[in-house]
């Protein structure tokens, strides 16, 4: 879907407040607005208030709107009057990051990837020039884009840049001499799934079928996990936002967004062990993941008996197949997600 580009520039009378310095850009800095307003409303508010905070471009599902010329700086990066982010980078705000309709932000991100790619081509830059607000000041921004996966977004930009540079793959005209069978990903739909999927990026586990719910833990990219039941956002059976699947994993139990997994016939990732016998031990470990399930036995096939949090320290009194038994008697934890002290 193509966006509509508009210029709605800050009046020169406000240059001393919003963009006082001349600039030769060296970077692009990505932000999320952290609200549900449209790009038109965001630009209007920024232009007409008397705060110094400013940025060059705002993007939503329909518009790309430029408010400050790229030869002027803007106060968007939070790294001070002489910071590289504020003085040498083009500030781009992606709107709709807290919208209840998650498709609006998805489309805004797609438009942002396309537009940023055009800037990279214009300046002869690579995606290494694309920075997060967080890179300059440590602020958790662009919060939604990072939550969904920063590398995912960079790949979106690179894909658009490749298209602009004519690097799309040319299909071969040679016909195969033998018939080959390919396994197509199984389309996800509402209902019982009870099959394995593979994560395509680092994926957060949420307490509810909603991207704004509490984060339980994170699943690494490439992990194989089992999904039990699929529904739309907020447990809806009618189309609403994205599909979400329920999971019970060593990374935590909860719900994952199905946008970031693909179907697979591979078996779930398990801890490789050298022995299946119990070994009496006595040492302490520290949990290294956000949330780690306690199991009633040494393996994911056993029922959970609570969970422990990152940074907590426990005494292990017995080992079996890569699992450790807690001295408290609460159960077993996967030692792959702990550090021995």
Q: How many CB atoms lie within 10 A of CB 141?
A: 25
> Which of 263, 289, 304 is the endpoint of a domain?
263
Which residues of 19-166 form beta strands (DSSP E)?
27-32, 57-59, 63-66, 89-94, 130-132
For residue 120, pLDDT beyond 90: yes
153/232 same-domain check = no
123/20 same-domain check = yes
Mean pLDDT of the chain: 86
75/130 same-domain check = yes
The pLDDT of residue 186: 55
The pLDDT of residue 40: 96
The pLDDT of residue 228: 79
Residue 108 included in any domain: yes
31/68 same-domain check = yes
Residue 271 included in any domain: no
121/239 same-domain check = no
Using alpha carbons, select from 282, 273, 292 the residue that is nearest to residue 325: 282
The count of C-alpha atoms lying within 13 angstroms of the C-alpha of 79, restricted to the half-sphere facing its C-beta, is 20
d(CA 159, CA 35): 27
Question: Per-residue confidence at 289, pLDDT binned at 50, 70, 90?
Answer: confident
End-to-end CA distance of the chain: 53
The pLDDT of residue 180: 45
The pLDDT of residue 272: 37
Average pLDDT over residues 276-286: 82
The pLDDT of residue 176: 52
Q: Cis before residue 317, ω within 30 degrees of 0?
A: no
Q: Looking at per-residue confidence, does 303 or 139 come out higher?
A: 139
Question: Per-residue confidence at 124, pLDDT binned at 50, 70, 90?
Answer: very high
Residue 169 included in any domain: no
d(CA 153, CA 31): 12
d(CA 136, CA 80): 10
Question: Per-residue confidence at 185, pLDDT binned at 50, 70, 90?
Answer: low
Q: What is the CA radius of gyration of the chain?
A: 24
Structural domain span for residue 21: 4-164
> Which of 206, 234, 263 is the endpoint of a domain?
263
d(CA 245, CA 184): 20
221/288 same-domain check = no
pLDDT in tens, 126-184: 999 999 999 999 999 999 999 999 999 999 999 999 999 988 654 445 555 444 444 44
Q: Cα–Cα distances in Å, from 50 out to 39, 44, 46, 87, 242?
A: 19, 12, 8, 20, 39
DSSP string of 237-301?
SS--SSEEEEEEETTEEEEEEGGGEEE--SPPP----S--S-EEEEEEEEE-SSEEEEESSSSTT
Residue 323 included in any domain: yes
The pLDDT of residue 63: 97
Residue 178 included in any domain: no
**What CATH number is associated with residue 137?**
3.40.80.10
Q: How many domains, the chain? A: 3
CA 250 to chain CA centroid, Å, is: 20
Residue 258 has φ and ψ, to the nearest 5°, of -75, -5
d(CA 68, CA 321): 60
Question: Per-residue confidence at 6, pLDDT binned at 50, 70, 90?
Answer: very high
**What CATH number is associated with residue 256?**
2.30.30.40
Residue 74 included in any domain: yes
Which residues does 178 contact at the CB level (< 8 Å), separation at least 6? none
For residue 245, pLDDT beyond 70: yes
14/134 same-domain check = yes
pLDDT in tens, 14-71: 999 999 999 999 999 999 999 999 999 999 999 999 999 999 999 999 999 999 999 9
> Which of 263, 295, 314 is the endpoint of a domain?
263
61/36 same-domain check = yes
CB 65 within 8 A of CB 101: no
Question: Among 72-76, 207-211, 312-316, which is the least confidently predicted range?
Answer: 207-211
Q: Looking at per-residue confidence, does 15 or 227 come out higher?
A: 15
60/105 same-domain check = yes
The pLDDT of residue 13: 95
Residue 170 included in any domain: no
Which residues does 307 contact at the CB level (< 8 Å), separation at least 6? 252, 253, 291, 292, 293, 294
- What percent of the chain stands above pLDDT 70? 90
159/218 same-domain check = no
d(CA 179, CA 54): 58
CB 127 within 8 A of CB 120: yes
Q: Looking at per-residue confidence, does 69 or 247 come out higher?
A: 69
The pLDDT of residue 277: 61
322/249 same-domain check = no
Residue 68 included in any domain: yes
Question: Per-residue confidence at 238, pLDDT binned at 50, 70, 90?
Answer: confident
222/333 same-domain check = no
């Amino acid at each position: 879907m193509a966006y509509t580009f508009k210029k709605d520039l800050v009046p020169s009378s406000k240059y001393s407040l919003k963009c006082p310095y001349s600039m030769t850009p060296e970077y692009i800095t990505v932000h999320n607005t952290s609200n549900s307003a449209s790009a038109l409303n965001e630009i209007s508010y920024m232009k007409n208030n008397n705060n110094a905070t400013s940025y060059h471009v705002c993007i939503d599902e329909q518009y790309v709107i430029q408010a400050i010329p790229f030869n002027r700086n803007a106060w968007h990066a939070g790294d001070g009057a002489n910071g590289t982010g504020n003085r040498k980078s083009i500030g781009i705000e992606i709107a709709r990051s807290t919208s209840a309709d998650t498709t609006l932000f998805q489309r805004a991100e797609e438009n942002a990837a396309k537009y940023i790619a055009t800037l990279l081509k214009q300046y002869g830059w690579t995606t290494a020039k694309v920075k997060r607000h967080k890179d300059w000041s440590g602020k958790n921004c662009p919060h939604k884009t990072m939550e969904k996966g920063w590398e995912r977004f960079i790949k979106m930009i690179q894909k658009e840049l490749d298209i602009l540079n004519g690097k799309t793959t040319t299909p071969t005209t040679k016909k195969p001499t033998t018939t080959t069978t390919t396994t197509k990903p199984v389309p996800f739909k509402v209902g019982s799934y009870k099959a394995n999927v593979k994560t395509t990026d680092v994926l957060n586990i949420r307490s509810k079928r909603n991207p704004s719910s509490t984060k339980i833990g994170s699943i690494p990219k490439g992990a194989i996990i089992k999904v039990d039941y699929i529904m739309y956002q907020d447990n809806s059976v009618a189309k609403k936002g994205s599909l979400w699947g329920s999971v019970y994993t060593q990374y935590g139990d909860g719900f994952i967004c199905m946008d970031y997994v693909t179907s697979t016939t591979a078996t779930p990732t398990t801890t490789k062990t050298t022995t299946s016998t119990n070994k009496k031990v006595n040492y302490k470990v520290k949990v290294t993941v956000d949330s780690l399930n306690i199991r009633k036995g040494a393996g994911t096939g056993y029922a959970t008996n609570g969970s422990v949090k990152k940074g907590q320290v426990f005494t292990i009194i017995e080992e079996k197949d890569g699992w450790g038994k807690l001295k408290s008697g609460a159960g077993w934890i996967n030692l792959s997600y702990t550090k021995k002290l």
